[in-house]
Structure 1
Amino acid sequence: MTAVTTASAADRLLEAMPLPTAILRGEQVLRVNTALATLLGVPAAELEALPLSESIRRFVPEERGWVEPMYQTLSQGGPIPERPVWVRVQPAHGPQRTLSVWHAPGAHADELVVVLLEAEAEDSVRRLTEALVVAASTMLRCRDERSVLETAVEAIYRQGFSVSIMRVEGDAFRYGPARQSPFNVADAEAVYGMPLDAVRIPRPALPHLLEVLERRKAVFHHDMLGVARYPDAPDGVAPVHQLHPPDTRGLDAPVLVEGQPYGVLCVQGPALTPAGASTLELFAQLVGGALENVRHHQTSAVRLEEVSRLQDELVARERLEVLGEAAGVVAHEVRNPLGAILNAVAVLRREAHLGPTGQAAVGMLEEEAIRLEDIVRDLLDVVRPLEPRPRPVQLGELVRRALGQMHGPPDAPTLRFSVDEAAGTPALEGDETLLQLAVTHLVRNAVQASPAGGKVRMTVEPADGGVRLVVEDEGPGIPDVDPQRVFQPFFLTRANGRGLGLAIVRRVVLAHEGSVRASSRPRGGARFELWLPLVPSRMSPV
């Protein structure tokens, strides 16, 4: 009688429990209460008639692979789990639900009590954590700040939250990447009268964000509606932050980059819990780390480029030193014989008895001697130290003067030229003689590269605190090599070229702290772009 009374009391206690509960003995389901039967959508008697393995197959199909072995271990006297386990339960009717399953010893040594708790909030945290871990891995591979921020807000938004990053910009906050309800965005932009990413909000208007940055600690808000109700907020600020529904929770977490405030990660949503907020606070730290990583990569790239440039300059200087020594010897040994040859040519031209053949031979001799003298002069221009003497110079005037000096090949007169000089192009400080030399070589290079009937286009315009000259031709273009190689001495792109003119251009431009680059045009031909500052900071000999 006592045993019957005890069993009845246990049944009444089990039935009275509001939580879905079952009592197991090995493979047998001894008792289930009404709450569990209601949850699974199956009568209690039917559940108690099913073997445990069959219940697992029907109601926990996705977790069967590990749930069955766990209960086999428990039925053989294995240790009871001290913590809850996550289980995705599929009721007979309705959507799948995530439950937290707790275990406890039963009234008898061979019995096990199983209690199921709703775990949607905990499951949300788990899913959020998994999503943010993936996003953090992606952010570490980003190479610009915008990509980092977009990756972060997208990962949070996909978990059902509204999110924005309020960046610190001087004495104001500015919206960075954001993912919000389109209705909220439309209402906000209607209040501000401009797109959100153009809005600058004074810092005092958002004291809760100021507090986050000052304390460098995240703040969880149980009521986002009440957070932004500030009587002293400027017109048009508070209403935007009051667009949240009354039950919305929020988190504001600081984003620090190299120890300095970068902005605030703002997340809102009714499903946000303190546990989820803690995960997001840690994620905000990872966002700051990813931004630091981007800046370090960018700094490293700039430094590597600078090191590469300095190495190239060092190699170029060493080449010029060697070339300069050779050029000095060549100039000394060649110019004197050239002078004698030209003097002899002048004497021969006065001889009356020379026939047409002799006159042609003398003319050819003179032409080749002059060409050889030009080569020696260009070689000396490449290697001799340049000492700019600055004075006001109009780059457009140098271009027109260079065109006037063009004699060139027989087909040169058939070329078409255009010079477009932007109105108001300012004068620059430079050595007129050296700049005229560079511009003349640049124009001559385009003329010599162009076919008969081709067009050479020249543009002079203000650009980036200086003046830019662009010269385009319709010749064969730049060979399939690094375009900067065309500025090296003796790099030839034509069979009859000298490989010195563009090297002279580069030396003159660098002496004026400018830049010059070459590229091929998409439809054929070459493009040379020369830029010179209006006032160089210094002009030292090069």
Structure 2
Amino acid sequence: MSPPSPAAPLDGLLQVLPVPLFVVHGDRLVFTNNALRVLLGLREGDLPSVGEFNARFSPEERAWVEPLSRALARGEPLPDQPAWVRMRGADGRRHVLSLITGPGRIPQEQLVLLLDAEGGDAVRRLSTVLVSTAAELLRCRDETAVLELAVEAVHRQGFYVSVMLLEGDFLRHGPMRQEAESLAAAERLYGQSVHAVRFPRAAMPHLEEVLTRRKSVFHPDAFSMARQLHSPEVAESIERIYPPGSRALDAPLFVGDEPFGVLAVQSPMLTPANAGALELFAQLIGGALENVRHHRAADARLAEVSRLQGELVASERLTALGEAAGVVAHEVRNPLGAILNTVAVLKREPRLGPSGAAAVEMLEEEAIRLEDIVRDLLDTVRPLEPRPRPVQLGELVHRALGQLQGREDLPTPHVVFDEAPEVPDLAGDETLLQLAITHLMRNALQASPAKGTVRVAVRSVPGGVSLVVEDEGPGIAGVDPQRVFEPFFLTRANGRGLGLAIVRRVVLAHGGKVRAGARPEGGARFELVLPL
């Protein structure tokens, strides 16, 4: 005949208590609740003897455990007990517990509760680690870095953790630390990375409540929560792989007043006490994310101020240069016209002879070169008022190459022109764009060695058309890329320093962008992006 057990109502109440407990009658345990079975790895219905139960204690505890067991079996007064004891759990870890005993339903029975003696210290240790991590989070300048650092800190304390990111009406997994086997099983079932799976926000009311109320929710049973979030196959895999008795916490992440996502934590060690520390940590994560956004906004504002200052300086420089250019053009062009007229008369003079003809030819070349410089100077400073009409960028490149290739004053590198199919027309001033592209192509041809290669590519880009020109010349390494577009900034001894300034003015007048940089293989790379 088996020993009596607690009455049914009491049995049901004790089963759901989160504290491990058992009832002992004589030399056997006659009742164990769910929490104790999880702690010891017992199957339902297993009722070990007192001796088998005592074997779970550390050897140094046996000196008092065995007298206590004998006193419990005989119903005698209990001997003095230490404040805490150590017991080996089913997970292989040693648990520090306090024993509290009380009478059972009948005189021959004793009720024993095993309270977690480490709980207070564990919460203090967790809080210390999380506060220290929060200080590190404030030094991050990237949202991903904040989340990765946060989940790693929580995971190092023995928790499984993931961040659910809010994207409109959907949630998806962000940084996480979970069992590799569970993630692999989920990816096999979903047919894609778990980070790519998007969960409708409306389909997860438990997370919707967390975000709406801005309040954490503690789940005594993590697996019931997993069954709400995942497909039955994935939930079954999670229940098979993760430790029994796992609990879960969903803590809201807010950046300012805007919902950002949910910090989800799971572990058998999760308790309402340390869940409170994790909830506070979630608030600190939100603060760190807000800090990142403030820094990003400040950097953007600083960049915009720098850009406006640069444009103001460039505008003032061009104004001064324009006044000087007007004087130069007025004072130089009239004498140049007289010189060229005289050259034309001298070239018709039959008595010049070979040396005189060569001198006149040289005089004409230098006068024309000086006239080109004056024209470029005026192009650099004159107001630009584009008159847009449909323009095919590739056609302008072909035209510029046709004008420049074969000229004696330019090297003859190999030119590779790659024009993507179906590049749309853009609205631009054909004359101004032709001027800019010709200067850009001349710059690349002048920079490249005679046996080098100039690569030209025209591509469609979102909202516009891109022209990329690469040469194999000395490049612009060690030079601020924006300075090459300043008037009179020279990268070659025989340059004028005006061509790229003209290119930049024309592109900006069309609302486009121009960038300069160095090629990894050597040489320079220029890209124009013009809006449609």
RMSD: 3.1
2:272 corresponds, among 262, 271, 274, to: 274
Q: How many angstroms does 1:193 deviate by? A: 3.1
1:175-220 superposed Cα distances (whole Å, 9 cap, x missing partner): 1111111232233334433221011111232211111111111111
Aligned equivalents of 1:41, 1:227: Cα separation in 2: 38
Map 1:76-155 → 2, pairs under 5 A: 119-155=117-153
Aligned equivalents of 2:204, 2:152: Cα separation in 1: 24
- After TM superposition, the structure 1 stretch with the greater mean CA deviation from structure 2, 436-445 or 492-501, is 492-501
Say whether the 8 Å CA contact 1:253–1:284 is kept in structure 2: yes
Q: 1:180 to 1:340 in 2, by over 3 A?
A: same
Q: How many angstroms does 1:511 deviate by? A: 0.4
Amino acid in the other structure paired with 2:365:
E
Amino acid in the other structure paired with 2:448:
S
Map 1:199-278 → 2, pairs under 5 A: 199-227=197-225, 246-278=244-276
- After TM superposition, the structure 1 stretch with the greater mean CA deviation from structure 2, 313-322 or 130-139, is 130-139
Q: How many angstroms does 1:422 deviate by? A: 0.9
Q: 1:482 to 1:238 in 2, by over 3 A?
A: same
Q: How many angstroms does 1:151 deviate by? A: 0.8
Aligned equivalents of 2:397, 2:58: Cα separation in 1: 91
Instruction: Quote the residue 2:449 is aligned against.
Output: 451
Instruction: Quote the residue 1:430 is aligned against.
Output: 428
Amino acid in the other structure paired with 1:272:
L
Map 1:348-387 → 2, pairs under 5 A: 348-387=346-385
Amino acid in the other structure paired with 1:532:
L
- After TM superposition, the structure 1 stretch with the greater mean CA deviation from structure 2, 128-137 or 263-272, is 128-137
Aligned equivalents of 2:217, 2:335: Cα separation in 1: 88
| Secondary structure of the structure 1 residue equivalent to 2:385 | coil
Amino acid in the other structure paired with 2:282:
A
- Normalised by the length of structure 2, the TM-score is 0.77
> 1:529 aligned to 2:505?
no
Amino acid in the other structure paired with 2:320:
V
| Secondary structure of the structure 1 residue equivalent to 2:331 | helix
Identity of aligned residues (%): 66
Aligned equivalents of 2:230, 2:354: Cα separation in 1: 99
> 1:480 aligned to 2:483?
no
Instruction: Quote the residue 2:391 is aligned against.
Output: 393
Q: 1:436 to 1:358 in 2, by over 3 A?
A: same
Amino acid in the other structure paired with 2:525:
R
- Normalised by the length of structure 1, the TM-score is 0.75
| Secondary structure of the structure 2 residue equivalent to 1:137 | helix
Amino acid in the other structure paired with 1:451:
P
Q: How many angstroms does 1:410 deviate by? A: 3.3
Instruction: Quote the residue 1:439 is aligned against.
Output: 437
Aligned equivalents of 1:273, 1:373: Cα separation in 2: 85
Q: How many angstroms does 1:479 deviate by? A: 5.1
| Secondary structure of the structure 2 residue equivalent to 1:405 | helix
Amino acid in the other structure paired with 1:430:
G
Q: 1:118 to 1:419 in 2, by over 3 A?
A: closer
Say whether the 8 Å CA contact 1:398–1:439 is kept in structure 2: yes
Say whether the 8 Å CA contact 1:166–1:266 is kept in structure 2: yes
Instruction: Quote the residue 2:67 is aligned against.
Output: none
Aligned equivalents of 2:385, 2:340: Cα separation in 1: 31
1:61-111 superposed Cα distances (whole Å, 9 cap, x missing partner): xxxxxxxxxxxxxxxxxxxxxxxxx9999xxxx9998789xxxxxxxxxxx
Instruction: Quote the residue 1:49 is aligned against.
Output: none
Instruction: Quote the residue 2:31 is aligned against.
Output: none
Say whether the 8 Å CA contact 2:411–2:446 is kept in structure 1: no
> 1:312 aligned to 2:313?
no
| Secondary structure of the structure 2 residue equivalent to 1:141 | coil
| Secondary structure of the structure 1 residue equivalent to 2:511 | coil
Say whether the 8 Å CA contact 1:250–1:272 is kept in structure 2: yes
Q: How many angstroms does 1:225 deviate by? A: 2.8
Aligned equivalents of 2:134, 2:197: Cα separation in 1: 28
> 1:324 aligned to 2:343?
no
Aligned equivalents of 2:390, 2:483: Cα separation in 1: 31
Aligned equivalents of 2:506, 2:273: Cα separation in 1: 66
> 1:302 aligned to 2:300?
yes
2:495 corresponds, among 497, 500, 504, to: 497
Q: How many angstroms does 1:224 deviate by? A: 2.1
Q: How many angstroms does 1:165 deviate by? A: 1.0
Q: How many angstroms does 1:524 deviate by? A: 2.2
| Secondary structure of the structure 2 residue equivalent to 1:252 | strand
Amino acid in the other structure paired with 2:118:
E
Residue ranges of structure 2 left out of the alignment (5+ in a row): 1-56, 65-82, 87-91, 99-114
| Secondary structure of the structure 2 residue equivalent to 1:483 | coil
Aligned equivalents of 1:217, 1:130: Cα separation in 2: 22
Say whether the 8 Å CA contact 1:255–1:287 is kept in structure 2: yes
Q: How many angstroms does 1:430 deviate by? A: 0.5
1:445-495 superposed Cα distances (whole Å, 9 cap, x missing partner): 111112222221111111232111111112111152202111100011111
Map 1:503-518 → 2, pairs under 5 A: 503-518=501-516
Say whether the 8 Å CA contact 2:182–2:238 is kept in structure 1: no
Q: 1:88 to 1:427 in 2, by over 3 A?
A: farther
Aligned length: 441
| Secondary structure of the structure 1 residue equivalent to 2:253 | strand
2:284 corresponds, among 276, 283, 286, to: 286
| Secondary structure of the structure 2 residue equivalent to 1:353 | coil
2:154 corresponds, among 153, 156, 181, to: 156
Amino acid in the other structure paired with 1:151:
L
Q: How many angstroms does 1:166 deviate by? A: 1.1
Q: How many angstroms does 1:258 deviate by? A: 1.4
Residue ranges of structure 1 left out of the alignment (5+ in a row): 1-36, 45-85, 101-116, 535-542
